[in-house]
Amino acid sequence: MNPLQMMQQFNQFRQNWLQQNPNTSPQQAVQQLLNSGKMSQQQFEQFRKIANGFSGMKM
């Protein structure tokens, strides 16, 4: 899969997520996963690094 296809798939995922969760910000959703134990801090750090790579931003 080339980078353009990956970005298109990511954007499609983002749009679907926003439509299914209109009253929840991504930050709130992640915090709920951390608070409930469904995501560990280690998993969060891994996903944060991936997201930073996609966006070119440091979060």
Domain assignment present for residue 59? The answer is yes
In a domain, 19, yes or no: no
Kind plus residue range of the DSSP H or E element containing 10 = helix 3-20
End-to-end Cα separation, the chain, in angstroms: 26
* Mean pLDDT of the 11-39 span: 92
- Whether 6 maps to a domain, the answer reads no
Q: How many domains does the chain have?
A: 1
The reported pLDDT for the residue numbered 43 is 96
Residue 51 belongs to a domain: yes
| Average pLDDT estimate for 16-43 | 93
Q: What is the pLDDT of residues 37-55, one digit of tens each?
A: 999 999 999 988 988 887 7
For the residues 27-36, what does the mean pLDDT come to?
94
pLDDT exceeds 60 at position 16: yes
**Residue 12 domain flag:** no
Do the beta carbons of residue 42 and residue 32 sit within 8 Å? no
Tell me the residue range of the domain where 45 lies: 35-59
